[in-house]
Each structure stands twice: as structure tokens, then as C-alpha cells.
Amino acid sequence: MKKSVKIYIAGHKGMVGSAIWRQLEAAGYDNLVGRSSKELDLKDQASVNEFFETEKPEVVIDAAARVGGILANNSYPYQFLMDNMMIQNNLIDASLRGGVEKFIFLGSSCIYPKIAPQPLKEDYLLTGPLEPTNEWYAVAKITGIKACESIRKQYGKDYVSLMPTNLYGTHDNFDLTTSHVLPAMIRKFHEAKEQGQTAVTLWGSGTPMREFLFVDDMARSVIFALENVLPEHLYNVGTGEDLTIKELAETIQKVVGHTGEIIWDRSKPDGTPRKLMDISKMHALGWKHQVQLEEGIQKTYGWFLDNIENFKEVKIG
């Protein structure tokens, strides 16, 4: 792949997109294109088509999505389904029409059935019911995977889907209403420490198991997919290691320096019991994560502290 190739990163201001942008720049790619949501509404098909006709990107990386945790998914099912379908469909179709040969579609491990053998293999897609608390987002992402697969099958283009496990890192979302579990815990423990080591209440029982990947490692997997022709259409991206939510909380508590009590609110949902990814296909091709969990949490907490003024206006609820 030439370093001068024109690469459009959809969602380049988000946690994942910004990490991809930084990693591409670090790797020497110097023809990157991005548009904020104010500059380009990806839900508007006409605007997306006009952008592609004007900019003519050669590679498209789709890191744009409406995302959130259990609360957000449960509260806004229509938006999580429809907004994500419109965003990805417009990007995929405009790429096909515009002659884009390489398209990298980013999804999520929530595409797999709620109750499936562990670790989750790519072959398990569409073999059982989804987790109800995020099925709207999952269904949207599954349609994106299938759209890329069908283009690959019908037109022979290099359109590939990467399914990351739970991502976290710098530029994460720390809004307690819409954030995922790891950044929400960082904020809760930090604010409890600042308030005199008060108790922290967390959702569920703490027993579900989760896998977490630092966002810079995800970005490196995208560059790996960019610089290689991957033989299949769908790949899991993760660490291949998981831990309980209770263990996660204790690790974050240690990094933050909180010494108060942790209270588990068992009236709140746990979500999927376990979501460990089988990443043997990516490992066989030569990609592997670099950042271990505690190191990644330290980097993320450091970024949070550096940007804490941006989070103060939203109080813990």
C-alpha cells in the first residue's frame, strides 16, 4: 500500500477513528481525509454521495457509529438500529459506486449470539438469538458485515469486516449516561476518591466475564488489514483473554487509587454472561495485541485526568 493512498476515515473524531488516524500518521500515511459530523451527516445519502464524488477516496475505513452501553441501547433502540444502518449503508454503497477497492468495516463482538460456545468464532454469526440489551446495534452491524461480504462475493472487491472486543482508551466517552463499562468505572472511582473515598455502586453482580482491547491495538489491526489482503471477509480482533467485571473493577480501583467500598447493585442487568473472542485467525495471519490491560487502564486514566475539565459539567447520577 503506497503511503500516498487517499484514505477516508469515517468517524475520525471518535475514540477508534482518532486512534486509527494517529497510527496511520505514525506509519507514514500522509493523505488522510476526515469530516466531522457537523461537516458531513453520514445519515444523509445525498451528502455522502456528493462527498465521495468530490474527494474520490481510494480506501475507506468505517469507524463511524452510534455507540453506547446497556442503558443507551435499551433507551434508544430505534436510533441504535436505524442510525447505524443509515451510516454504514451510505458509506458502503458510495464506496462501491465510487470504485473504492479497499473498505474496512468495524463492528463489535455483540454481533454473536448471547449463548454461544466460548471463545466466539467467526462461524457463530447468525447461529442463535442476540443479547436483548444490545440487539438493535448488533442487527445493524450484522447487515454491514453482510453488505461487505456480498460486495466481496459479487464484485470481487477487498471489503473486510473487523469485529473488535470491548474497546477502551484515550479519547473514550466518560459520560455516565452513554459510556461503556470501563470508562464509566474510571470516572466513578475517580470522583468517589475526590469526594473522600466514598462507596462506588456498580451495576449487576460482577460475575460476567469480559475481554478488553486498548484502542491503539485496534488501530494497529486496521493498518494490518490495510496493508494485507486478508483471505476471508470477517475477523475477530481482541486479546484472547478475559476477566470478571469484579476483577476489572478492582484493577481500575487500584489504578485510580480509590480505597472505598464497592457495592454491586444486583437489580441492574448483567448483560451477556461471557464474551471471549476467538482470535486465532488474526494470530495466524500475524497480528497480535501489544498493550496489556493494566497498562492500558493507566494510559486511559492519565488521559482522563489531562482532560478532566471536559467531564465536570455532567454529575454522577
Q: pLDDT of 251-285, one tens digit each?
A: 999 999 999 999 999 999 887 788 899 999 999 99
Question: For the segment 159-191, what is each residue's pLDDT rounded down to a tens digit?
Answer: 999 999 999 999 998 988 777 899 999 999 999
Residue 107 clears pLDDT 90, i.e. is over it: yes
Name which residue leads in pLDDT, 272 or 98: 98
Residue type, 32: L
Is residue 311 over pLDDT 80?
no
Cα–Cα–Cα angle for 183, 130, 71, rounded to 5 degrees: 35
Residues making up the annotated binding site for substrate are 188, 203, 210, 270
Q: In the prediction, which pLDDT does 314 show?
A: 42
Q: Is the pLDDT of residue 84 over 50?
A: yes
Known binding-site residue numbers: 11-17, 106-109, 141, 164-167, 180, 188, 203, 210, 270
In terms of pTM, does the model score above 0.85? yes
pLDDT at position 315: 40
Mean pLDDT calculated for residue range 110-127: 94
Q: Where are the beta strands (DSSP E) in the chain?
A: 7-10, 32-33, 59-62, 102-106, 158-164, 166-168, 200-203, 209-210, 212-214, 234-237, 243-244, 262-265, 274-275
| Span 236-240, average pLDDT | 97
* Cis, peptide link before residue 57, omega less than 30° from 0: no
How many CB atoms within 10 Å of residue 315?
A: 7
pLDDT of residue 81: 96
* Backbone phi, psi, residue 70, to 5°: -60, -45
Instruction: Average the pLDDT over each of 61-75, 143-157, 165-179 and give the range with the smallest value.
Output: 61-75
Binding residues for NADP(+): 11-17, 106-109, 141, 164-167, 180
Domains of the chain: 7-310 (3.40.50.720)
The pLDDT assigned to 312 comes to: 59
pLDDT of residue 317: 32
**Please, what is the average pLDDT of the chain?**
94
Whether the CB-CB separation of 282 and 230 falls below 8 Å is answered with no
- C-alpha cell belonging to residue 83: 442510525
Model confidence at 217: pLDDT above 90? yes
Calculate Rg over the CA atoms of the chain.
19
Average pLDDT for 138-155: 97
CA-CA distances (angstroms) from residue 80 to 12, 45, 76, 84, 136?
Answer: 19, 18, 6, 6, 6
Residue 72: per-residue pLDDT: 76
- The lowest-confidence range among 3-17, 178-192, 205-219 is 178-192
- Which residues are catalytically annotated? 137
pLDDT of residue 274: 83
